[in-house]
């Protein structure tokens, strides 16, 4: 019985399997759809000379991780193995060289103290032939950004992504590339994050990265190097020749040996700049960690139904309090601050304000407010170089019932 044989380091393989696993079709996705081959729940291996690509997809996202293998015969092979089974088996092995022997119906993996055999998943050929989004080199726009920078901004935006079936365009991070800056924005209607990275760009473009893509990038982006992003997008005033079909929306993100190809979320992302107040009458500078600790203590006493924390700003102090009269629970704390403006009483939802504070990497933060009914802006008091981080939170109504029992 003939076979294809190649060798690979266990640690290299494990890292590639863990990275590519994020795009494997989940059990829930597989059961909710019909007509999908088992290969979409598997790793699809494509071996050519000394390179092996590990391909995964949930039908919408196509991911490839390429690694080097020892293949002295230069053989080629394409096969699929059930993802959870292979990943668990490789995890338990120690660092060593593994030998893969690919037969007609199974793959045998030999290691230092034995071997294990796995049956081939059906549908590897169907997986390879299935239509997927493609980049049109004629229309595509290319952008290069630092991997650590992209990792940083996506981690700051993640918490504000919506989960809205009626407005799917909100369920991701908007990347808005202009001539003078690149914006990363996310909003669930109550919170808004806008991270603006300053820098010149030759071409303008906008796309919305789906939530799953954002989560994958947060897992696989390296701490060094650069990311290449390609978008099938053309200028609105571009003349299209008769009979020429414009390319379908597609995004390709490549970093090191990893490639992601997917369709961005379709639809027009709301004009987030239009809801950001341009003027304010009150300004409060406070130490971020001190405020986080105070809010985390008060969160133990906020009403379950609202999570309301009332903040009083005046002179050189910020007073926070919460009450739940139904259970005779209340708490308050006062911390120092630098405040400019008339006295202000404003209500915030505890979970929202704590998420904002934890995603601002600064010693001090500044609140910009106008009154208790308008959105508040929270920013680092000192911004990072070439970056403008802004987070917006809608206040909660503090009703008269909140003050019952007070003199």
**Angle at the Cα of 6 from the Cα atoms of 50 and 109, rounded to 5 degrees:** 145
For residues 319, 324, 328 and 333, what is the CA-based torsion angle, rounded to 10 degrees?
-10
Provide the H-helix boundaries in 186-241: 211-220
CATH fold of 276-403: DNA Polymerase III; Chain A, domain 2 (3.10.150)
- DSSP strand pairing (191-198 vs 387-393): antiparallel
Reference 144, options 283, 42, 252; nearest CA is 252
Low-confidence ranges of the chain (pLDDT < 70): 1-2, 234-247, 400-407
The DSSP code for 302 is S
Q: pLDDT per residue over 163-179, tens digit each?
A: 999 999 999 999 999 99
Query: What are the Cα distances from residue 81, in Å, to 17, 50, 75, 99?
Result: 11, 20, 19, 15
**Quick check: 261 and 132 in contact, CB under 8 A?**
yes
Reference 40, options 53, 50, 27; nearest CA is 27
Class of domain 4-129: alpha beta
Q: Looking at domain 140-237+245-273, which CATH architecture does it have?
A: Roll (3.10)
346: region left, alpha or beta (phi > 0 left; psi from -120 to 50 alpha): beta
**Quick check: 293 and 96 in contact, CB under 8 A?**
no
Query: What are the Cα distances from residue 401, in Å, to 55, 305, 313, 398, 407?
Result: 58, 14, 21, 8, 13
- Using DSSP's 3-state secondary structure scheme, residue 258 falls into strand
Burial class (CB in 10 A: 0-12, 13-18, 19+), 2: exposed
- List the domain boundaries for the chain: 4-129, 140-237+245-273, 276-403
**Considering all CA atoms of the chain, what is the largest pairwise distance in Å, rounded to the nearest integer?**
91
Q: pLDDT per residue over 169-225, tens digit each?
A: 999 999 999 999 999 999 999 999 999 999 889 888 999 999 999 999 999 999 999
pLDDT of residue 237: 47
Token pair of 256 as six digits: 């090191």
Q: Using CA atoms, how far apart are residues 5 and 36, in angstroms rounded to an integer? A: 29
Helix axes 83-91, 10-20, angle to 10 degrees: 140
**Angle at the Cα of 158 from the Cα atoms of 169 and 153, rounded to 5 degrees:** 105
């Amino acid at each position: 019985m003939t076979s294809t044989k190649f060798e690979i380091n266990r640690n290299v393989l494990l890292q590639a399997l863990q990275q590519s696993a994020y795009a494997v079709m989940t059990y829930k996705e597989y059961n909710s759809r019909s007509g999908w081959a088992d290969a979409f729940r598997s790793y699809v291996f494509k071996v050519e000379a000394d390179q092996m690509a590990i391909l995964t997809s949930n039908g919408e996202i196509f991911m490839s991780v390429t690694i080097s293998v020892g293949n002295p015969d230069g053989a080629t092979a394409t096969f699929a193995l059930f993802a959870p089974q292979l990943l668990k088996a490789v995890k338990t092995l120690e660092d060593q060289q593994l030998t893969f022997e690919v037969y007609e119906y199974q793959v045998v993996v030999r290691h230092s103290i034995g071997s294990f055999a796995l049956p081939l998943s059906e549908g590897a050929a169907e997986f390879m032939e299935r239509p997927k989004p493609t980049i049109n080199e004629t229309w595509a726009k290319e952008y290069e950004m630092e991997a650590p920078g992209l990792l940083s901004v996506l981690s700051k935006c993640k918490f504000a992504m919506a989960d809205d079936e009626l407005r799917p365009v909100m369920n991701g991070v908007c990347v808005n590339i202009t001539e003078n800056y690149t914006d990363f924005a996310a909003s669930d209607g109550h919170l808004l994050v806008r991270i603006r990275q300053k820098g010149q760009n030759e071409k303008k473009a906008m796309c919305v990265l789906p939530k799953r893509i954002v989560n994958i990038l947060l897992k696989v982006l390296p701490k060094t190097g650069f990311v290449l992003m390609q978008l099938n997008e053309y200028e609105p005033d571009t003349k299209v020749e008769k009979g020429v079909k414009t390319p379908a929306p597609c995004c390709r993100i490549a970093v090191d040996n990893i490639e992601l190809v997917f369709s961005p979320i379709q639809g027009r992302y709301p004009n987030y700049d239009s809801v950001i107040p341009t003027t304010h009458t009150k300004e409060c500078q406070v130490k971020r960690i001190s405020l986080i600790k105070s809010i985390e203590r008060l969160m133990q006493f906020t009403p379950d139904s609202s999570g309301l924390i009332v903040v009083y700003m005046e002179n050189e102090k910020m007073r926070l309090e919460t009450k739940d009269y139904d259970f005779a629970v209340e708490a308050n704390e006062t911390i120092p601050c630098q405040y400019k403006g008339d006295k202000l009483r404003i209500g915030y939802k505890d979970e929202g304000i704590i998420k904002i504070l934890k995603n601002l990497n600064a010693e001090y933060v500044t609140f910009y407010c106008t009154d208790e009914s308008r959105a508040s802006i929270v920013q680092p008091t000192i911004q990072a170089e070439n970056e403008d981080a802004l987070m917006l939170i809608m206040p909660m109504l503090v009703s008269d019932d909140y003050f019952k029992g007070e003199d």
